[in-house]
Amino acid sequence: MLGWLWFARIWDKGNGAYLEMTSEINKYIVHFELSSVDGDLLTNADFNNLERKDLRNCSSLNICFEPEEISISDVKITKMLIHYDGLTDSPQDYFGFEYEHDLDKGFKGSPSPIVTFELNKEVDPDEFRKSIWMSSICIFPEKVRERNGEAAFQQDNNGYTSIIDGDSLDEYISQLAGAAIVPPKEISFPDGLDGYFEFELKELIRLNKPSQNKPSQNKPSQNKPSQRKSKKTTEQLLRELEKYPGSFGDFGFLKREADKSLKSDREFILAAIKISADSFMFASQNLRSDREIALAAVSRWGPSLEYADKELKSDREIVLAAVSQDGLALEFACQKFQYDREIVLAAVSQRGDALQYAYKPFKSDREIVLAAFINRHYLQLSPMYLPANLKSDRDFFFAAVRQNGKIISCVSKELKSDREFVLAAVMNDHDTPNDSYYDGIALKYADKKFKSDRELVLAAVSQLGSALKYADKKFKSDREIVLAAVNQLGSALQFADKELKSDREIVLAAVSQDGSALQFACKKFNSDREIVLAAVSQNGSAQAMANL
C-alpha cells in the first residue's frame, strides 16, 4: 500500500455500519491462506467434546512477523484488528475449518483469517506480505498437551497469503455474514510487535454468531427448495476445471464442488490431474500413493510432490520429473536427492533459486551455481547470492552472460564497460514472452558509450528488436538499424523515428513480422491494401485498425 490513500473504517454502533474517512495510517489488510499442514497428525480421540464442538477452544492464531524481510529498518506492528478468525463456519463453503474423522487427515477446509495490521511506518505491501505469510493456525487439544504431544499447524508454505483493499474486506465481511467479527477484535502493542505473537482464538467465540445467519439444517431455506446442494456430475466437474488456465486452477474447487466419493475414483482423479494439477490435493491418501497418478501430477506441476506419499518422494523418476517441471519441487523431495548432483543440477537449471534446498557443498560448486545463476528470476540476479569464491571470478561472469545476456544488469561497472562482455550480453539477450519488462535489458544496462556504438547496437537489435528503445536517438532514424529491429520484432516500430514510420518498406517488414505493429505506422498505411493485407494475414485483429 506504499503511497496509496487508505480508508479508516470506524464502527458506528448506533447505525450498525462502517464510517469511512480518508487516512494516511499505515494499514495493511491481510487475507491469510493457510493450506499446508505441519506438526502432529491428530485423531478424533485427541479432542474433548468442547473442542469437537468448536475448534477455537484449542486453537491459536500465531503471528510470525519477520521485519528483516522489509527493506526499511525498525518496522513494528502497533495494532491488529481481527475481522475473521479463519475457523468459524459461514454460509459460504470456502470459509470455515473443522475436524472430520472420516477424512484422510481429519480436517476439512483451509483456515483463512482476515486481519488488519497497523504499522509504525509505511512499507512496501508485498514486502510486508512476505514478512507475515509464515504465520499459522495452531491446533493443540488439551489431551495432546497432557501427553506432551505435538500440536498440528496450518501454514502458508506457498505464498498465497495476500494483501487486500478495503472494498475486498467489505465483500468478505458480507460473504461471511455472522461469522465475521464486527466490530473487529482489536489488539494493541504499545511497544510494537516486532517478532512473534500468539492469540488464543477462544477469546473470539462470543464475538461472532454464525448460526444466526445460516438456514436450519433440518429445514429448507426460505430462498431455496432444498438446503442440500446437488453435486455436479464428473463430466460437469471436468468441464469446469478446463475453465482454469495454467498448471493448476481454482484451489479447493473439487473440495467445494465434488462428492467425497470421487476422492477415491482413480479414473476421475487421473483425468482431473491432466486438466489441473491442483486436483492431486483432492485425491485420497491411497491415490496419492499411486505412482502413475503422482507422476502425472508432478509432470504438470512439480510442487505437487509435496502431497505425494512419502515413499514416492524417494522415487528418483518422480523426483526428477518434478524438479524438471519446477525446480522448487526439490524442497519436497526425500533428503537424499538434495545430495544428488544430477537431481540438483536439473532443479537449478529449471529454476535457479532451487539452490536454497541443495546440499551445502553444491552451493559452491561452479557448474551448479552457474546453472542456478543464469536461471534466476531477473529480480534475484545478484552477485550477493554467489559464494565468495565466485563473486570476483571474471570467467564465471563471462560464462554466465554467454548463456543469459540479462545478467549484465547486476554485474560491476567494470564489466558493463567491457566491450567484449557487452557484445556477449546483447548477443544473448533472449526474449521473454509476455514480459516486456525484460525487453532489451542488455543494451539498457550497458555503459552509456555503447548506446552510441553502431556495430554493437546493430547486433543488439538484430538479436532483440526492442533493444532499439535504449539505443542512442540517432539510431532511431538509421534505416538499416530500424529495419533490422522490425524484422526481428515488428512492434519495435514504435521506437523508430517518425520519418521511418512513413517508410513503406520498413512498415511492411514490421507488420509482416507482427500485424499489430500497424498501430505504430503512419496512419496513411491504414488504407494501404497491401500493408493491411500483410498485417491481417499475420494477426487477424489488425483488421480493426484498417480503413479499407
pLDDT in tens, 344-361: 999 999 988 888 898 888
In a domain, 218, yes or no: no
User: Would you give the distance in Å from CA 385 to the centre of its chain?
Assistant: 22
Which pLDDT value is given to residue 394?
Answer: 83
Provide the residue count of the chain. 548
Closest by Cα among 547, 514, 510, 542 to 528:
547
- Give domain status of residue 112, yes or no: yes
C-alpha cell at position 47: 479432542
Does residue 167 have a pLDDT over 70?
A: yes
The answer on 488 and 347 residing in a single domain is no
pLDDT of the residue at 431: 64
Q: Are residues 352 and 313 in the same domain?
A: yes
Residue 107 lies in a domain: yes
Q: Which tens digit of pLDDT belongs to each residue from 426-466? A: 998 876 544 444 467 789 889 999 999 999 999 999 999 99
What is residue 98's predicted lDDT score, i.e. its pLDDT?
Answer: 76
Q: Where among 322, 345, 379 does a domain terminate?
A: 379
Q: Residues 361, 407: one domain?
A: no
Same domain, 432 and 487: no
Cβ pair 500, 506 in contact under 8 A: yes
Burial class (CB in 10 A: 0-12, 13-18, 19+), 492: buried
**What is the reported pLDDT for 123?**
92
Q: Are residues 23 and 162 in the same domain?
A: yes
Phi/psi class of residue 287: alpha, beta or left (left: φ > 0; alpha: ψ in -120 to 50)? alpha
- Pair (11, 84) in one structural domain: yes
Q: What is the mean pLDDT of residues 504-513?
A: 94
Average pLDDT over residues 511-531: 92
CA atoms 509, 510, 513, 519: torsion sign:
negative
For residue 421, being part of any structural domain is answered with yes
The answer for residues whose C-beta is within 8 angstroms of residue 134's C-beta and 6 or more apart is 64, 66, 155, 156
- Does the residue 225 lie in any domain? no
Query: CA-CA distance, 108 to 128, in Å (whole number)?
Result: 29
Domain contains 366: yes
Q: Is residue 467 part of a domain?
A: no
Q: Which is nearest to 328 in space by CA: 347, 305, 349?
A: 347
CA 115 to chain centre: 20
439 and 343 both lie in a single domain: no
Q: Using one digit for the tens of pLDDT, what is the confidence trace for 271-289?
A: 999 888 888 888 888 899 9
**387/367 Cα distance (integer angstroms):** 13
Measure CA 275 to chain center. Answer: 19
Q: Which of 348, 379, 410 is the last residue in one of the domains?
A: 379
pLDDT digits (tens, 9 = 90+) for 12-49: 434 444 433 334 568 999 999 887 777 777 888 888 98
Cα 397 from Cα 268, distance rounded (Å): 49
Residue 153's CB: how many other CB atoms inside 10 A? 17
Same domain, 54 and 35: yes
- CA nearest 358: which of 341, 371, 377, 370? 341
Whether residues 295 and 168 share a domain: the answer is no
Same domain assignment for residues 292 and 364: yes
> Residues near 252 by Cβ (< 8 Å), separated by ≥ 6?
94, 110
Same domain, 368 and 395: no
Domain range for 527 is 472-548
3-state secondary structure of 279: helix
Cell of 286: 491411497
Q: Are residues 16 and 150 in the same domain?
A: yes
Q: To the nearest 10°, the Cα dihedral for 354, 359, 361, 363?
A: 10
Q: Which residue has the cell 491418501?
A: 285
**Can you tell me which residue has the cell 473504517?**
9
H/E stretch holding 59 reads strand 59-64
Task: Match 560464462 to its residue by C-alpha cell.
Answer: 399
Residue 393 belongs to some domain of the structure: yes
Q: In total, how many domains does the chain have?
A: 4
